[in-house]
Amino acid sequence: MKNFIHEDFLLQTDAAKELYHGHAKMQPIIDYHCHLNPEYIANDHAFDNLGQIWLEGDHYKWRAMRTNGVDERYCTGKDTSDWEKFEKWAETVPYTMRNPLYHWTHLELKTAFGVDKLLNPETAKEIFDHCTDLLRTPQFSARGLMKKFKVEVVCTTDDPADNLEHHLSLKKENFDIKVLPTWRPDKAMAVENPQEYRAYLEKLSAVSGVTISRFSDLIEALRKRHDFFAAVGCKLSDHGIEEFYAEPYTQAEIEQIFNKVYGGKELTKEEILQFKSAMLYEGAVMDWEKGWTQQFHYGAIRNNNTRLFNKLGPDTGFDSIGDFNTAKAMSRFFDQLDKDNRLTKTIIYNLNPKDNDLIATMIGNFQDGSVAGKMQFGSGWWFLDQKTGMEAQMNSLSNLGLLSRFVGMLTDSRSFLSYPRHEYFRRILCNLIGNDIEQGLLPASEMKFLGEMVEDISYRNAKQFFKF
Ligand SMILES: [Zn+2]
């Protein structure tokens, strides 16, 4: 496989090779946003086979399989075995050429399992058996894989009502990789469905010990949970939002809106926007008080297929890029926090690539010289997590901000095999810079500085920025 995934994969110039092999490759991984199950780390989960670790919960792969004409039974079905699912995936892989799945699949096979062969129906059995044998050894358990990829820190994604039992047990045990929670209060904002919201409030009330019947109670309960998360080592929050919310509201209005939804009544569109605006602001203030970094993942339209949503639930591969016009609300939101001197370190991730330049200029409005790169433009997310998307994000950031201060890559993944995405990112980064050097757009005489810059973006910037 000399010309495919080889040592110099994606590295088109000598300068790129030098930057990658001399600087990026050996950096540890700080995966500051992912969706790994902390229970798997706490129990050092052993995976049964390659089909299981690859296809359980991976909606990227399911989407490709469905597109390739594979029946749902082999994606999410309960009556098919891991091998049967894997076989259908192997049939699909050759048809994923030019989709990032083709690169990720072979990068994972190569870096985790040393497999040089291409996955297809002919090699499926051999590759499945080889990887499954390895997965059943201790070096390939959840923790084994994290160590193999030199992971230093991971931040999971957790609800305020979560008891963080697995994080606590890892902390107690002094596990040498930091596994920290991330505060993700989406459910505390989801007032669209009064019944579900009321049930969530009851859960939050039970875990916080605060009886919630007014808006101020809700904030008190969240504040207690926020303190608890901080005590367990949390340094980041994250919000999955369609758009930014910064509608004007008064405290009295928010109290009334809360009482209405608490009483089981549906809110108007305007009330929902006002409520979310208040919640986003209150959460941002809590994050500022703790010195956390707040993250915003915005712009997805989720659960587009009602029939399959009803059958399979959320996060099963039926989401897409939205086209919300949110620049003004985004500006108002950050401006209010800045005026109140409550704006904490921030990362914004867009799902629509049309917003790349928008974000790259928006963050510049709120850089205040207190922290290098205080306002960050997040790495290519979800549908943009591929070569084109990463390059576009880094080019926008370079043109309109400072690439050198970028905190770099995160996996945003549910799988312990996704760490090679950091390698993918680093190769793409080194290639971008290497090409510039080759073309005389960056000075070859500054190779030392550029090498350090690559190290910074791969590792050190994140380490200094988040203060884990
Ligand atoms: Zn995420």
Q: Kindly report, residue by residue over 412-453, the tens digit of the pLDDT.
A: 999 999 999 999 999 999 999 999 999 999 999 999 999 999
Rounded to an integer, the average pLDDT of 199-205 is: 98
* Portion of the chain with pLDDT greater than 70, in percent: 100
Residue type, position 92, single letter: T
For ligand 1, the distance from its centroid to the CA atom of residue 86, given in whole angstroms, is 25
Residue type, position 114, single letter: G
For ligand 1, the distance from its centroid to the CA atom of residue 349, given in whole angstroms, is 10
For ligand 1, the distance from its centroid to the CA atom of residue 33, given in whole angstroms, is 6
Phi/psi at 183 (5° precision): -80, 110
Is 90 exceeded by the pLDDT of residue 137? yes
In this structure, the dihedral spanned by the alpha carbons of residues 285, 288, 289 and 292, taken in order and rounded to 10 degrees, is: 130
For ligand 1, the distance from its centroid to the CA atom of residue 156, given in whole angstroms, is 9
Q: Check if the beta carbon of residue 301 is closer than 8 Å to that of residue 321.
A: yes
Phi/psi at 301 (5° precision): -105, 115
For ligand 1, the distance from its centroid to the CA atom of residue 396, given in whole angstroms, is 22
How many alpha carbons fall within 13 Å on the CB side of residue 76? 18
Q: Check if the beta carbon of residue 457 is closer than 8 Å to that of residue 404.
A: yes
Q: How far apart are CA 253 and CA 264, in angstroms?
A: 17
For ligand 1, the distance from its centroid to the CA atom of residue 419, given in whole angstroms, is 15
327 token code pair: 């620049």
For ligand 1, the distance from its centroid to the CA atom of residue 299, given in whole angstroms, is 13
* 3-class secondary-structure state, position 122: coil
pLDDT of residue 452: 98
Burial (Cβ within 10 Å: 0-12, 13-18, ≥19) of residue 339: exposed
Angle of helix 387-400 versus helix 420-438 axis, rounded to 10: 50
Q: Check if the beta carbon of residue 60 is closer than 8 Å to that of residue 87.
A: no
For ligand 1, the distance from its centroid to the CA atom of residue 421, given in whole angstroms, is 14
For ligand 1, the distance from its centroid to the CA atom of residue 191, given in whole angstroms, is 21
- What is the maximal distance between C-alpha atoms in the chain? 68
Cross-strand partners of 29: 151
Q: How far apart are CA 49 and CA 56, in angstroms?
A: 11
For ligand 1, the distance from its centroid to the CA atom of residue 332, given in whole angstroms, is 24
Q: Check if the beta carbon of residue 322 is closer than 8 Å to that of residue 301.
A: yes
For ligand 1, the distance from its centroid to the CA atom of residue 36, given in whole angstroms, is 10
Residue in 27, 109, 76, 155 with CA at minimum distance from that of residue 412:
155
For ligand 1, the distance from its centroid to the CA atom of residue 54, given in whole angstroms, is 18
Q: What is the mean pLDDT of the chain?
A: 97
For ligand 1, the distance from its centroid to the CA atom of residue 367, given in whole angstroms, is 24
Q: Check if the beta carbon of residue 16 is closer than 8 Å to that of residue 433.
A: yes
- Who's near 388: CB < 8 A, 6+ residues apart? none
pLDDT of residue 2: 60
For ligand 1, the distance from its centroid to the CA atom of residue 417, given in whole angstroms, is 16
* 3-class secondary-structure state, position 31: strand
Pairing of the two strands 300-301 and 320-321: antiparallel
For ligand 1, the distance from its centroid to the CA atom of residue 247, given in whole angstroms, is 25
For ligand 1, the distance from its centroid to the CA atom of residue 159, given in whole angstroms, is 13
For ligand 1, the distance from its centroid to the CA atom of residue 130, given in whole angstroms, is 31
Is 70 exceeded by the pLDDT of residue 1? no
What digits encode the pLDDT tens for the residues 219-275?
999 999 999 999 999 999 999 999 999 999 999 999 999 999 999 999 999 999 999
pLDDT of residue 68: 98
Residue type, position 162, single letter: D
For ligand 1, the distance from its centroid to the CA atom of residue 464, given in whole angstroms, is 22
Q: How far apart are CA 397 and CA 247, in angstroms?
A: 28
127 token code pair: 């590759």
For ligand 1, the distance from its centroid to the CA atom of residue 319, given in whole angstroms, is 13
Expressed in percent and rounded to 5, the helix, strand and coil fractions of the chain are: 55, 10, 35
Q: Check if the beta carbon of residue 197 is closer than 8 Å to that of residue 191.
A: yes
Whose tokens are 């985004």? That residue is 330
pLDDT of residue 3: 75
What digits encode the pLDDT tens for the residues 306-320?
999 999 999 999 999
For ligand 1, the distance from its centroid to the CA atom of residue 35, given in whole angstroms, is 6
pLDDT of residue 238: 98
For ligand 1, the distance from its centroid to the CA atom of residue 34, given in whole angstroms, is 6
For ligand 1, the distance from its centroid to the CA atom of residue 326, given in whole angstroms, is 20
Question: How far is residue 462 CA from its own chain's centroid?
Answer: 14
pLDDT of residue 124: 98
Burial (Cβ within 10 Å: 0-12, 13-18, ≥19) of residue 139: exposed
For ligand 1, the distance from its centroid to the CA atom of residue 273, given in whole angstroms, is 23
Phi/psi at 389 (5° precision): -65, -45
How many alpha carbons fall within 13 Å on the CB side of residue 134? 18
pLDDT of residue 130: 98
For ligand 1, the distance from its centroid to the CA atom of residue 315, given in whole angstroms, is 11
For ligand 1, the distance from its centroid to the CA atom of residue 184, given in whole angstroms, is 10
For ligand 1, the distance from its centroid to the CA atom of residue 38, given in whole angstroms, is 15
Residue in 380, 411, 436 with CA at minimum distance from that of residue 13:
436
Q: What kind and span of H or E run contains 151? A: strand 151-155
* pLDDT tier at 149, thresholds 50, 70, 90: very high
For ligand 1, the distance from its centroid to the CA atom of residue 412, given in whole angstroms, is 5
For ligand 1, the distance from its centroid to the CA atom of residue 409, given in whole angstroms, is 12
For ligand 1, the distance from its centroid to the CA atom of residue 162, given in whole angstroms, is 17
For ligand 1, the distance from its centroid to the CA atom of residue 305, given in whole angstroms, is 21
Q: Check if the beta carbon of residue 319 is closer than 8 Å to that of residue 302.
A: yes
For ligand 1, the distance from its centroid to the CA atom of residue 1, given in whole angstroms, is 33
For ligand 1, the distance from its centroid to the CA atom of residue 414, given in whole angstroms, is 9
For ligand 1, the distance from its centroid to the CA atom of residue 238, given in whole angstroms, is 8
408 token code pair: 């770099």
pLDDT of residue 427: 98
pLDDT of residue 342: 98
In this structure, the dihedral spanned by the alpha carbons of residues 186, 187, 191 and 197, taken in order and rounded to 10 degrees, is: 180
pLDDT of residue 318: 97
For ligand 1, the distance from its centroid to the CA atom of residue 294, given in whole angstroms, is 13
Start-to-end CA span in the chain (Å): 40
